A and B are shown apart, each in its own frame.
Chain A
Amino acid sequence: MEQRKILYSLLVLAVGLLLGLLVESHFIPEKSKTGSAKEELPDKYKYNIDEYKKVDSGLVIYREIKVFKTGFTEAAGLAIDKNDKIFICGDKGVRVVDHNGILLNEIISAEKITAVAVSGEGVIYAAARDRIFFGKKDFGRDFGKRGRGKGDFEYITGLKTSGDKLFIADAGNRKVAVADLQGKFIADIGGKDAAKGIKGFIVPSPHMDLDIDKVGNIWVANTGLLRLEKYSVDGVFAGCWGKAGAGLDAFIGCCNPSNFVIDKNGDFVTSEKGLPRIKLYDKTGKLKGVVAPPSEFNEKCVYMALAVDSKNRVFALDSVKKMVRVFEKKQK
């Protein structure tokens, strides 16, 4: 009797063991974090923008003709003067090079230079985040301080000169400041005015560029609204173009175009981050073609400052390769 009891118990134990093994092997995946036993995540968990990287080769109307080193670990800005001298700014100051990248002059700074511009008289203006240094051969003078008041700056990301004025894009304060060439504050452009329905500059990330067209209008990248806005020299809003979207003619992401420049024909060359690409738009904002498709860049290329020389060639900063890349329009 006792022996039979033990036998039954062992039998029940064996059945339970088998059932347990069966359930474990068939119904409990080894790794069930996302409902899958696979080591790879299912596609729905992967971020994929490959579809938007595709560009019809017929739309690429520029070709890369040259490339040279910036000489910086973290290059941030680019400018070209009337003699086609190239001014590159970055973590160690400003380097002046010729169109082949041969060093002509270098101005060392202790702070990282976040934007650079050069006046018609050859005075170099360099922004060190919240201060602007200027001089012809060195930075003998400076103006500005950190703050939110008039003439104060938080994070300067763009500089341009036009006539006797210096235009300063301050991404930190979300405004464009106008100063004379000696640094005397004149006015602010682009403040928020809820009563008039003016949203002001929406700048989610430190990317805010500006340029001046032939007529003297100030164009500013309102990156958070994914458009370029035009202001008169008095600071009156005069129009805008640009739309948000993943298509080639639109600006993708939360905050683009990260940089732009107006070329000699008055067309707009824009660069975008996230989906790095450089495009050409006409004066009204109609897409004319692609300067450089996303396949030309590393996806981590965030700083793509632009400048145009007298021959209308596009110079683009490549922050990943630490190079200046030169693009020329293809011959028809």
Chain B
Amino acid sequence: MGQENKISRMEFLKKTGRGLSVLALGGIAGAALGRSKRKRESVWQIDPDKCTQCGKCATECVLRVSAVKCVHNFSICGYCNLCFGYFAPGQRELNTGAENQLCPTGAIRRRFVEEPYYEYTIKEPRCVGCGKCVKGCTAFGNGSLQLQIRHDRCKNCNECAIAKACPSKAIFRIPAAKGYITKENNDSKI
């Protein structure tokens, strides 16, 4: 009876190894799940009222092309013909010529709506998050262009490299259930 229950050393090692592998696999899966759950609970966002468009968003993100993009809050846009988020100061003509555009990567599209209104949309793949257009729009217009961390791109690092470098402390975590912070719905103003 006692002899039947005995297992060989090889068999013991195999079983232990298998058990440990399953345990490790479970542990990894559990850790990954836990991590993703925590990530889903809060996300990094930019407070547009604190942002000074210093340019760090473009240079500090761990991604090759920053997760920060210019987003357009159409509800407060003036649809200006002479948009200072689109045109470089001292522009020669008010047309879509590259020499007249402010954005160094040509990431803003200008479309005629009706005299004298124009609509501006962001071509996100081209945007590097430098904030040049945001600065122009904020200084001269309503500030409808703003920088924001795009959550389809953001890796949600534990310690955000941009937040660490941000001179105005404009980047912080907020519950993921909350929408993007805009200048209108910004209840994080202190």
- Given A45-B130, A46-B55, A273-B140; A205-B78 close (CB under 8 Å): yes
Pair A199/B116 contact, Cβ less than 8 Å: yes
| Shortest Cβ distance from B53 into A: residue | A47
Pair B142/A205 contact, Cβ less than 8 Å: yes
Within 8 A of A (CB), among B72-89: 78-84, 89
In the complex, per-residue mask of B55-73: 1 if CB is within 8 Å of any chain A CB, else 0: 1001101011110000000
Within 8 A of B (CB), among A259-296: 273-275
Q: A45-B132, A52-B89 are in contact. List 13 more A-B contacts (CB 8 A).
A: A34-B130, A39-B59, A44-B104, A45-B58, A46-B132, A49-B89, A203-B78, A205-B78, A205-B141, A226-B82, A255-B80, A255-B141, A256-B140
- Distance between B92 CB and nearest chain A CB, rounded to angstroms: 11
Which residues on the B side are within 8 Å of A255 (C-beta)?
78, 80, 140-141
- Distance between B100 CB and nearest chain A CB, rounded to angstroms: 12
- Distance between B87 CB and nearest chain A CB, rounded to angstroms: 9
Which residues on the B side are within 8 Å of A204 (C-beta)?
78-80, 141-142
Pair B141/A33 contact, Cβ less than 8 Å: no
Query: Is A311 an interface residue when CB atoms closer than 8 A count as contact?
Result: no
- Distance between A35 CB and nearest chain B CB, rounded to angstroms: 9
- Given A41-B55, A45-B130; A32-B141 close (CB under 8 Å): no
- Given A34-B128, A45-B128, A204-B142; A254-B55 close (CB under 8 Å): no
Pair B84/A274 contact, Cβ less than 8 Å: yes
Query: Is B25 an interface residue when CB atoms closer than 8 A count as contact?
Result: no
In angstroms, Cα B59 to Cα A169, docked, is 44
In angstroms, Cα B136 to Cα A299, docked, is 11
Query: Is A330 an interface residue when CB atoms closer than 8 A count as contact?
Result: no
Which residues on the A side are within 8 Å of B116 (C-beta)?
199, 202, 224-225
Query: Is A164 an interface residue when CB atoms closer than 8 A count as contact?
Result: no
- Distance between A137 CB and nearest chain B CB, rounded to angstroms: 35
Binding site for B on A (CB under 8 A): 31-34, 38-41, 44-47, 49, 51-52, 199, 202-205, 224-226, 244, 246, 252-256, 273-275, 299-300
Pair A246/B90 contact, Cβ less than 8 Å: yes
Pair A253/B84 contact, Cβ less than 8 Å: yes
Which residues on the B side are within 8 Å of A254 (C-beta)?
78, 80, 82-84, 140-141
Which residues on the A side are within 8 Å of B84 (C-beta)?
253-254, 274
- Distance between B58 CB and nearest chain A CB, rounded to angstroms: 6
Pair A33/B58 contact, Cβ less than 8 Å: yes
- Distance between A221 CB and nearest chain B CB, rounded to angstroms: 14
In angstroms, Cα B102 to Cα A41, docked, is 15
In angstroms, Cα B162 to Cα A265, docked, is 54
- Distance between A226 CB and nearest chain B CB, rounded to angstroms: 7
In angstroms, Cα B138 to Cα A299, docked, is 11
- Distance between B48 CB and nearest chain A CB, rounded to angstroms: 14
Which residues on the A side are within 8 Å of B132 (C-beta)?
45-47
- Distance between A202 CB and nearest chain B CB, rounded to angstroms: 6
In angstroms, Cα B129 to Cα A41, docked, is 11
Within 8 A of A (CB), among B124-159: 128, 130-132, 135-136, 139-142
Query: Is B11 an interface residue when CB atoms closer than 8 A count as contact?
Result: no
Query: Is B187 an interface residue when CB atoms closer than 8 A count as contact?
Result: no
- Distance between B5 CB and nearest chain A CB, rounded to angstroms: 43
In angstroms, Cα B131 to Cα A45, docked, is 8
**Residue contacts A-B, CB under 8 angstroms, 10 given:** A33-B58, A33-B64, A33-B66, A39-B59, A199-B116, A224-B80, A254-B84, A255-B78, A273-B139, A275-B139
Pair A199/B141 contact, Cβ less than 8 Å: no
Query: Is B115 an interface residue when CB atoms closer than 8 A count as contact?
Result: yes
Residue from the list A33, A45, A49, A244 in contact with B61, Cβ < 8 A: A33
In angstroms, Cα B69 to Cα A33, docked, is 12
| Shortest Cβ distance from A36 into B: residue | B59
| Shortest Cβ distance from A253 into B: residue | B140
Which residues on the A side are within 8 Å of B130 (C-beta)?
34, 41, 45-46
| Shortest Cβ distance from A44 into B: residue | B104
| Shortest Cβ distance from A34 into B: residue | B128
